[in-house]
Amino acid sequence: PTVLAGSIIDRITGEPVQGARITARVEGAPEVEGSDDLVVPTHVAISDLSGVYAFRYVPPAQYVMSAFV
């Protein structure tokens, strides 16, 4: 199975970032019609106490990743 994993670190303090929302969407994925807006299918993970996150069982592809605090 495909796994995307990593850790989120505050670049100023060097401390892990707990509770960050990490998204991964397939690069160039076609948009899917939603209720009112067009949305791109996205995988979501939340970083743990150590700043670690993982997406398990994602289809093999190129992904665009973003993190939000």
2-37 confidence digits (pLDDT tens): 899 999 999 999 999 999 999 998 888 766 655 555
For residue 44, pLDDT over 80 is answered with yes
What's the pTM?
0.77
- Dihedral pair phi/psi, residue 11, rounded to 5°: -70, -15
pLDDT at residue 37, rounded to an integer: 56
Around Cβ 30, how many Cβ atoms within 10 Å? 8
| Top-confidence residue, 34 or 54 | 54
Task: Please name the residues in contact with 16: beta carbons below 8 A apart, sequence gap of 6 or more.
Answer: 7, 8, 9, 10, 47, 49, 50, 51, 52
